[in-house]
Structure formats: structure tokens, C-alpha cells
Amino acid sequence: MAKSVKKETTGKTKKKAAVKKSASKKSTAKKTSAAQSKKAKEVKTAAQKVEAKVEAPKVETKADTAVQTSLAVTLLNNIGAWSKLSALVAGAVLTAALPPFYYTWALFLAFSVLMFLLCRAGSGKNAAAVGYWFGFGYFAFGFYWIGNALLVDVAETGWLYPIVLLLNGAFFGLFAIIPALITRAGRNALSKMLLFAAGWCLIVEWLRGFILTGFPWNPVSSILGFSPAMLQVLGLFGTYGVSLLLVFAASIPAFWLLKPTRKRAWVVMLPLCMWLGAWQYGLFVLDKRPQIPDGHSLVIRLVQPSIPQSLKWDKDILEQNLQEYIDLSNAQDSHYIDFTVWGETASPFDLMYDYPHNRKVMNAVPRYGRLITGFLRREDNGRRVIPHNSLAVMNTKGEVEAWYDKSHLVPFGEYMPFRKYLPDWVRPLANVVAEFGRGEQYKIIKTGEYPAFAPLICYEVIFSDEVVKKGAEKPTWAVVLTNDGWYGVSSGPYQHLVAAQMRAAEEGISIVRSANSGISAVISAYGEIRAKIPLGTKAAIDALIKPEEAHQTLFGTYGNKIPLALSGVFLLLGLLCSLASKRKK
């Protein structure tokens, strides 16, 4: 019986163990199944996330409809991080848009980058630095050719070239600080663009025409010199007004750079519309102008001996240089010539009192016309002899019927600013600079039966609104005598020529330009070049000018009141736009 109970107990124990083992297997199976199920869910979730990431760019949201690539974002971030260097490079790039290159894309690239940097400046100090380095790059590279004057005598002054290059950028770059600071008053991109364009017009261009007698060379509007049609807008807004509009138009792409989305991509079309509008207006003006018969023209003989600057003032060959002018003037019959025109200081002798040289030059006067020449006039005021950079009109008798003394002198070239305040150690260097006398501004010369003309010498032609006196009798043509031989084969002579074209289009008068080494040209009252002698070419050419082509332009009537008023409008719009943005917030 005991054995029977023991067997029964053992059987129950085994049965319980079997049940427990079976339950354990089921539990393990459930755990395994749950783990596998969880893993499957994780895999599925991960797959969904990957799929979502791949498909994300195809989904547009209200927050961002971005079309930017990682490369573009990286580039913009780098530009912002290296703001001063980026501004310097942008300023240097802008010079590629100037004559004689005319790479228009450089205008839009430079100002778009500048405006992008100003909008992200964060403080007035950073904005000022960005503006300064942009101006530094623009003026250092844009005025590089000024240093070429030091290369005429490389041994003596060549070492100063890099110093002059840096000084140009360092000084003129200061003008760009104020427009950059003005943008701090703007609360959005549009207001900053409006304010900056107005500041650029007022400070960098207009005010630069006054400091130390002024040097408004290379206004932004000179990039239009490649097309007579584009120059016609100067007759409406003037040089500085057109510069304002160009700076504003070129800054607009920055609106997209700040947030490159599809919704903002349309703004790129605005500068294009403005550009095409100016071009169409110019074509309309040129098409509607009156046709003047050739019989109502003056015949001009331009003489360009292209004497190297290193030889022009060599005392041993001054007579030979003067004879070069005479020989070129008489190389062809001159009985039909109204005016033979020589360049600036073509005669180093005073033709009013130096009788032997007066008789010599008289041989170059056209048989029935006049000779217009540059010469050095000496005025004795009882205390000292004052030299003048002058223009003379000589008749067939050798009489100087009229003359003009240059009124707008070149600082550090024709006079030394603050000479009496300079320290003693600088005076020996300052004494190298002559102290020329100043003449009467806005002088008009009338000789014989010929129409009156406005005389200008050298860089006087770069001053907008200073060719013709408003409200006075308007001449129908102007004569510009210059010598760009100092600057060799560089951008300088080309930019100087474009300045003459711009004055013609602004005022609506023809311009005759005679340069010692080029570029000599006859320019119509619409800024077109009718005839020219290339840079560095020795030649004499005959060409027609049509004084009756002269016409009254809007700018010719009101002058720089137009760009100044336009700047005021842009400043007001910028402030109103900023105020509206503040109220929305």
C-alpha cells in the first residue's frame, strides 16, 4: 500500500513538472513572439521615418517653400561669417561693371551681396565696417589707374604706387560708411534698400563732388556708357539720380538672398523691368530726335600727337613737341575747317606774350577758321607770377580772341590743400606741387560768327551740373581739352571719355574732346560718339558737330535739384516702410 501511495505521489510530481515545463515553454514562446512583434514595429517605424525624410522635400508647407540647396545655404552663411572680406571683394567686383569692361552682372552681384550683409549686420558697428570695406574695395580698384602717373618716372616715384592704391581705398571708402549706417533705421529689407540707395546718392556721389574741390569720378551710372540709348535717362534724372535708381535696382536680389523661396523669386524680375524700361525710353528719344542737315554743321579737326608723358615736359624737346601739333594740323588742306582743336597744355609757352611761339603756332590756324589750344598762361599780379592752365582761341592773325583759365583745380596736382598748415617735414614734398590760379567758372566763349561754346579743361567735365549755368544763356556745344597721358593704357582715359558722353546726354549739347594721347572724340548732343582717335594713336581727323542738335532736357533745366529731391523721396519712403513694419509687429 505504501508503495502504491509512493508511486501515486511520484506520478503527480512528474505530471506537475511536465505541466510547469509546458507552461514555461508557452511563456518563452509568448515572450519571443512579443519581442519579434516589437522589433517588427520598430523596423516598420524606422522605415516610415526614412521614407518621410526622403519624401519631405516634395512637401511644401506654409512655413517654408524653400528651393535652396545645401551648397547655396553654406555659401550664404560663409558670406555672412566673413562679412568684412565679403564686402571688400564685392566692392572690387563692382569695378568690373565700369568702363571699359561693362560687365553688368557685377553691378547686381556686388550690391546684392552688400545689402545681404547690411541686413544681417546686427549692429551699427558691423554695418559701418561692411560699408567701409565695400567702399575700400570699390575705390582702391576703381582708381588703380591714378597710380600710373607715378610710373612715368619709375625710379623716383614707382615705389609709391601701392601706397597710393591703398590710400585711395582708405580715404574714399569713408564715404560709404554713412549710407551703411543709414540702413540701421530700416526694419525690413525693403526699407533698408530705399535708405541705402538715397544715402549712396547723397554721400558717396554728390558729396564726393565737393570735398577738397571734389572728385566724383566713376559714378555708378557710368556703367551705362556702353549704349547711347541707355544714356538718355541722364537727361531726366542726371548722373546722381540714375545712380540712385541703379543702386536700388541692383540691391533688390538681396530680398531673395535673405530668404530664398519661390514666393520671393519674382523680385528678380523688377530690376530687369527697370533696365528694359530705360532702354526703351532711350530708343524712343533717339528715334524722335530732329534730323539736322550736314550743311548746318561745324567742321572740326582733332589733333592727337600721342606724345609720351615722360617726354611731354622734357625741356630739350619742347619745341619738337609743339611742331608735332603743327605738322599734324597741316597734314591735310584746312580751308574748309572751322576749328582745329589741340589738347590740354599743347603749348607750354604763353601764346599771349611769347611772340616767337605765337607766330609759330599761327601757322596751324585754319585758313578761314580758328585754332583752339591749351597753353600755360602766366599772370603777373605785381607780387609773383601766377601760372594758369588755360584754353585759347586764336585767329589767322595770331590774335588770342578769347581765353579761359581752368576754374576747378585738381587737388595735389594743381594745388596743395592746406599748404600753409602742413608741418615743415612735408613742405619739401608739397613744394613740388605748383599753385595754379583759378579762373572764372561757367565762362562762355563767342568768337566771330560761330555759335558760342562752353570751355572745359581736363577733369572739369566729370562734374555733373557744372557745365552750363542754369538760368543763363545756354551754349550749343562744349570743348574739352585734356591730357590723359599720365595714366597710360588703363581704364582712366576710357572712363574720362564716358564722363564727357554723360555731360552731353545730361545737358543736350554736343562736345568736342581733344586729348594729347587719347581718346579724342566728337560727341553728339545725345552722347553718341560720332568720330574718335583711339588711345595711344598719333593722328588728326576731321568730323562734323551739329550745334543745332542742342535741346533742352529736364536735367538741363533743374540740374541736381532732381537727384536731391529723388533722394529725399527715397528716404521718406524708407522711413515710412520701416514704420509700417514696426506697426505690424
CB 139 within 8 A of CB 167: no
Residue type, 137: G
Classify burial at 384, counting beta carbons within 10 Å of its beta carbon; exposed 0-12, middle 13-18, buried 19 or more.
exposed
CB 546 within 8 A of CB 296: yes
Classify burial at 240, counting beta carbons within 10 Å of its beta carbon; exposed 0-12, middle 13-18, buried 19 or more.
buried
Classify burial at 11, counting beta carbons within 10 Å of its beta carbon; exposed 0-12, middle 13-18, buried 19 or more.
exposed
Catalytic residue among 205, 312, 344, 474: 344
Q: Which three cell numbers stand for residue 104?
A: 553688368
User: What is the CA 395 to chain-centroid distance, rounded?
Assistant: 41
Catalytic residue among 201, 360, 414, 458: 458
344 as an active site residue: the answer is: yes
Helix (H, G, I), strand (E, B) or coil at 374: strand
From residue 79, give the alpha-carbon distance in Å to each of 87, 90, 371.
9, 10, 57
Classify burial at 57, counting beta carbons within 10 Å of its beta carbon; exposed 0-12, middle 13-18, buried 19 or more.
exposed
Classify burial at 168, counting beta carbons within 10 Å of its beta carbon; exposed 0-12, middle 13-18, buried 19 or more.
buried
Classify burial at 242, counting beta carbons within 10 Å of its beta carbon; exposed 0-12, middle 13-18, buried 19 or more.
buried
From residue 470, give the alpha-carbon distance in Å to each of 93, 209, 456, 556, 557.
37, 18, 16, 7, 7
From residue 374, give the alpha-carbon distance in Å to each of 154, 340, 353.
27, 12, 15
User: What is the CA 397 to chain-centroid distance, rounded?
Assistant: 46
Q: Angle 104-119/234-251 helices, nearest 10 degrees?
A: 60
Catalytic residue among 192, 312, 406, 546: 406
Query: In whole angstroms, what is the distance from residue 430 CA to residue 426 CA?
Result: 6
259 as an active site residue: the answer is: no
Q: Which three cell numbers stand for residue 199?
A: 544715402
Nearest to 191 by CA among 578, 474, 581: 578
User: Any residues with CB less than 8 A from the CB of 113 and at least 6 apart, and which?
Assistant: 79, 86, 87, 90, 254, 257
Query: In whole angstroms, what is the distance from residue 489 CA to residue 537 CA?
Result: 11
Q: Angle 234-251/269-288 helices, nearest 10 degrees?
A: 160
CB 546 within 8 A of CB 524: yes
- Annotated catalytic residues are 344, 406, 458
